[in-house]
Structure 1
Amino acid sequence: MAKVLELNFQAQDGTANVSIRNPKEPIDPVQVKAAMEQIIAANVLYSTKGELTGVIGARIIDRNTQEIEL
């Protein structure tokens, strides 16, 4: 099982996503939003779509893999 926390930002020229593998659980939505706002305020990430300007949302992607024995 692989989990990814995907952060979705508004950028100057579209949207930008940041993926974090194996996030610490439980996920606290208030902390996630605060962290995203800090990332924007500190201007620490650059996107091909330009500077990050706003928070769109976040989601957990949970992928299960099951091997098939042949």
Structure 2
Amino acid sequence: MKKLELKFLNEEGKTVTISLDDPVEPVDPAQVNAAMDAILTQGCFYSNGGDLVEKKEARIVERNVFEISF
């Protein structure tokens, strides 16, 4: 399973992650950047450490799970 993680810094300087399942690939960096800018501009998310104030990074994370039979 793949996730797109959007990481921001809040007013306390702590990292806040927004995860989205099954991102469209290939990921368009310009669209991700624009979406993160919109999130900051609109102030639509809040964390325990205050508003999101800065973009930190975006990344695709893939997790593989393998069952072990016994």
TM-score above 0.5: yes
Cα deviations by residue, 1:8-35 (Å, 9 ceiling, x for unpaired): 1011012211111111221111110110
Q: Are the aligned partners of 1:9 and 1:52 in contact in 2 as well (CA < 8 Å)?
A: yes
Matches within 5 A, 1:7-26: 7-13=6-12, 14-26=14-26
Q: Tell me by how many angstroms 1:67 deviates.
A: 1.3
1:40 alignment partner, SS class? helix
Number of aligned residues: 69
Q: Tell me by how many angstroms 1:37 deviates.
A: 0.5
Q: Tell me by how many angstroms 1:46 deviates.
A: 0.9
Percentage of pairs with the same residue: 42
Q: Tell me by how many angstroms 1:49 deviates.
A: 1.6
* 5+ residue gaps, structure 1: none
Map of 2:52 onto structure 1: 52
CA RMSD of aligned residues (A): 1.0
Q: TM-score, normalised by structure 2?
A: 0.89
* 5+ residue gaps, structure 2: none
Letter in 2 for 1:26: P
